[in-house]
Every structure is written in structure tokens, then in C-alpha cells.
Structure 1
Amino acid sequence: MANIHDPALFLAHACALEEDAANRFADLSEAMKTYGNADVAAFFAKMAEFSRLHLADARKRSAFRDVPVLAPEDFQWPDDESPEAASMEGSHYLMTVDYALELALDSEKRGHAFYADVAASTTDPEVRMMAEEFASEEAEHVAELERWIERFPKKG
């Protein structure tokens, strides 16, 4: 469970998480282009842009604060890694659309859970407000990915 009660510390985590998300979605977009799936590549590019917008928002909120520069071991991530730093191990020329979507969905669910956990456990009202807002945005990403998964059912 995250133990974040300082807005600057929260924003350090949010910036790192959103940057990881933007990079992951950009990687998935490129992978889908390589594999010839333009629709899903465009979708992942759009998701990368949303993550970049969230990153810009977190950075803007950080502008007047003394946001700490954290070493990897100083982050309070579940499982010791950023929730949105999805493994790209399965990204190869045989990667299917449904696999890419499931990979992205798993990361977004973990991002949502991180923000929701911070919102539920913090004692700082400003951190709670920001975490709830970021959790809501992640929930929208989860819903969007679930809609896309319905469009690309697993091939049996």
C-alpha cells in the first residue's frame, strides 16, 4: 500500500507513472504498425497522447513545488515497479491485437489501482483530490480498452 501524504511526493509518482504509460502506449503503437494493424496502432497512439496530456498536467501541478527526484528504490510502487511499466517481453512479430490490448488493459488497471489506493490511504486532502482525479482518468482508459477488446475478441 502506498504511503503518500505529501503533494510533491504524489506528483513525483504521477509524473513517473504517466511517462511510463506514454512510452508503453507509443511502443505498442509502433508494434501494431509493424504488424500491419493500422486501426489498433492509431488507438495506441491516441492512448499515448492521453498519457502525455496527463503527464503535462502532473508537471504543470509540479511547477511551483519542490518535487523530489526519486531513485528507483524510493518509489512506493506495488510490486516494486511502476504500475504502467508493462512488460514488452511478449511484443514480437507474432503479437496479436488481443494480446496487445490485454497487456495495455492490465497496465491501466494497475495504474488505476495505484491512484485509488493513494486516494484511500492518504491523510492529505490535496493528495486525495489529485489521486481521485487521476484514478478517474485511469478508469476511463480501462473502459476504453475494454470496449476495444470487445471489438477484437480472442481468436480460438
Structure 2
Amino acid sequence: MNDVELFLAHAIQLEREAARRYEELAAAMQTEGNAALKVFFARMAHFSRKHLAEATARGGFRELPVLRDDEYDWPEGTSPETADWVGVDAQMDPRQALALALGSERRGHAYYAAIAATTSDLELCGLAGEFAAEEAQHIVELEKLIAQHTATA
């Protein structure tokens, strides 16, 4: 990808989906009775909404393309935030919720990092690199929580 506007259109969609997924996980953990994970997932939804606002603001002075679902250029044909998404239900335990979130964050990071590594556009390289770094921080947080959960289980 070598077009900043196209990248931002993809980033906006990806972060919108991430926020929805984290909101679903927060609700599931509330049902599960796991207040700590409910708060964590709600915080992650907030961060995704913040990233969405940042991407939208960066596109504010640009004319971003409006894409239909089939016009997005996602790895494996589906958004990194929805790939392997099996949905959330009241039976989902904390381990499953964390694993699901970690998979999404890893795919999101890989998506942004691949763009940063392959684009010939310097502005886009910087933007994608920033988004990849944010996703990397989320991965670290999730891995710590998984380690804590595994140690206490």
C-alpha cells in the first residue's frame, strides 16, 4: 500500500471493529463475573476508540475513500480484527477471551507492520509504524494478563 488516504480508511475501519470486539468482551466478562477483565476490556475499547479518533483526525483534511466491505484490501480477505472471531457468549471464560483478544492484536500489529515495512511512501511508513507500535503495546499488556491468569489458575 502506498496511499495514505487508503491506509487511513483501512485504519478507521480496523479500529472501529476493534472497539466493538473489546466492548463485546467487556460485556462477556461482566456476565462471567470477572470485574478485573471487564475493566481491562472496557479500557481497551476506549483505546481503540481513541485510535479511531486519531485516524479520523489525521484524515480530516484529506479526502478519504469510502469503501464497500468488498473493497478493503485485508490479509486473507478479512479485517485483522474480525479474522478468527468466533463471537462472544456468556459461556466464554477469561482464558478464551484473552486468547481471542491477543490473536486480534497480533493480526492488527502484523497488518500495520507489514505496511510500514513495504510502503515506498515515507509519510505512510511513519503512520503505519505508529499504529504498529500501539498494537505492540496492546500485545504486551495482553501477554502479561495471560501470564498472570495462568499463574493463578
**Equivalent residues, number:** 153
TM superposition shift of 1:38: 0.7
Distance in 1 (alpha carbons) for counterparts of 2:115 and 2:70: 18
Residue ranges of structure 1 left out of the alignment (5+ in a row): none
Match of 1:134 among 131, 134, 150: 131
**Per the alignment, in what secondary structure is the counterpart of residue 147 of structure 1?**
helix
Residue of structure 2 aligned with 1:96, choices 74, 93, 98: 93
Q: Using the alignment, how far apart are the partners of 1:118 and 1:154 within structure 2?
A: 36
Partner Cα separation in structure 1 for residue 68 and residue 79 of structure 2? 12
- Percentage of pairs with the same residue: 49
Question: 2: distance between equivalents of 1:63 and 1:107?
Answer: 27
Coordinate RMSD, CA, aligned: 1.6
Cα deviation 1:85-120 (Å, max 9, x = unaligned): 255535222211011000000000000000000011
Q: Which has the higher contact order (CA 8 A, sep 6+)?
A: 1
Aligned residue number for residue 117 of structure 2: 120
The answer to whether the 8 Å contact 1:8/1:62 transfers is yes
CA distance in 2 between partners of 1:112 and 1:14 (Å): 11
1:65 maps to which residue? Answer: 62
Q: What is the rounded CA distance, in whole Å, between the counterparts of 1:89 and 1:5 in structure 2?
A: 32
Measured after TM superposition, the shift of residue 56 of structure 1 is: 0.4
Q: Which residue of 2 aligns with 1:50?
A: 47
Greater helix percent: which structure? 2
Q: TM-score, normalised by structure 1?
A: 0.93
Counterpart-to-counterpart distance in 2, 1:97 and 1:154: 13
Other-structure match for 2:24: 27
Unpaired runs of 5+ residues, structure 2, are: none
Q: Does the C-alpha gap of structure 1 residues 90 and 66 become closer, same or farther in structure 2, counting only changes over 3 Å?
A: closer
TM-score, normalising length from structure 2? 0.95
